[in-house]
Structure 1
Amino acid sequence: MLKKEETPWSEGVVLVCTKCHKSISASSLKEEGNAGENLKTFLKKSFKESGDLSKIRVVTSSCLDVCIDDTQAVTFASTDGKTETFTVHPEKDREELLKLLKSKI
């Protein structure tokens, strides 16, 4: 039986593609590991430190079908149904992405 569930996050979910890592030049990255996983960790830590982690869920995703070389695809899906997808450099643009996402919650 289908049962609707309430989510523990009130404003939305952020999906970070992990497949994009393959198209980002290693020379443009400072951190080891998967750039998508690293971006997710950065966002979760930042939202936790600001007390906003209960408003937003940050998860990794498989391909979001927005494949542009040297960028990371990130989708914000609001609980009101609006979805926005962005492409960013996973390290150089992370502060700007964080600021944008905070403005949405």
Structure 2
Amino acid sequence: MNWYILSTKLGYEQKVVKNLTKKYEAYLPLHQLTDEQKGKVLQPIFPGYFFVYAKPDQLKEIAKVKGGQILCIMATVAPSCTRRIFNCLKNSCSTIH
């Protein structure tokens, strides 16, 4: 199994990750912004992108997740970097997972 970077339509990241976490490990790093009308809101650090931990043969099924269209499977995160990258993101961000 590997972490993959996936792309979805802007604004659908949280919905897609929420649906994926029912069956897979998915991760969406967020940061808090202050909107003049809405107050404090959580927004994706990488708009349109999220991470999912899966086997290569599961990617076709993942691409059909409800809640938003998976546009592209962008890359595999190198296993040697995974722990450092996610620890850094999780320590400095809010998350949906």
TM-score (norm 2): 0.29
TM-score (norm 1): 0.27
Q: Which one has the bigger strand percentage?
A: 2
